[in-house]
């Protein structure tokens, strides 16, 4: 599982994640299928994770993209 998938799974349901990051549910469903969160939402993901007591960084999200490109 990559960092993007792990970030999404910090919430029990996709709808919960969508609400937490301020994204449309249908978009989040697509992100989940692709295993990738678009960069414009990364700061929202970091902040939303912090609010539930979890830590994820923009750097981790970026590194996950770099690893996918290298594969």
What does the alpha-carbon distance between residue 51 and residue 40 come to, in Å, rounded to a whole number? 19
Say if CB 7 and CB 32 are below 8 A apart. Answer: no
Of residues 33, 25, 27, the one with CA closest to residue 4? 33
Could you say which architecture CATH assigns to the domain 3-70? Orthogonal Bundle (1.10)
For the segment 47-71, the average pLDDT, to the nearest whole number, is 90
CB contact set of 29 (below 8 Å; sequence gap of 6+): 14
Give tens-digit pLDDT for 10-45: 999 999 999 999 999 999 999 999 999 999 999 999
pLDDT beyond 90 at 5:
yes
* Domain layout of the chain by residue ranges: 3-70
Q: Other C-beta atoms within 10 Å of 44: how many?
A: 14
């Amino acid at each position: 599982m990559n960092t993007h998938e792990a970030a999404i799974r910090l919430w029990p349901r996709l709808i919960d994640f969508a609400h937490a990051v301020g994204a449309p549910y249908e978009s989040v469903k697509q992100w989940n299928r692709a295993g990738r969160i678009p960069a414009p939402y990364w700061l929202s993901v970091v902040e939303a994770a912090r609010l539930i007591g979890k830590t994820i960084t923009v750097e981790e999200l970026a590194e996950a993209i770099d690893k996918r490109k290298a594969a």
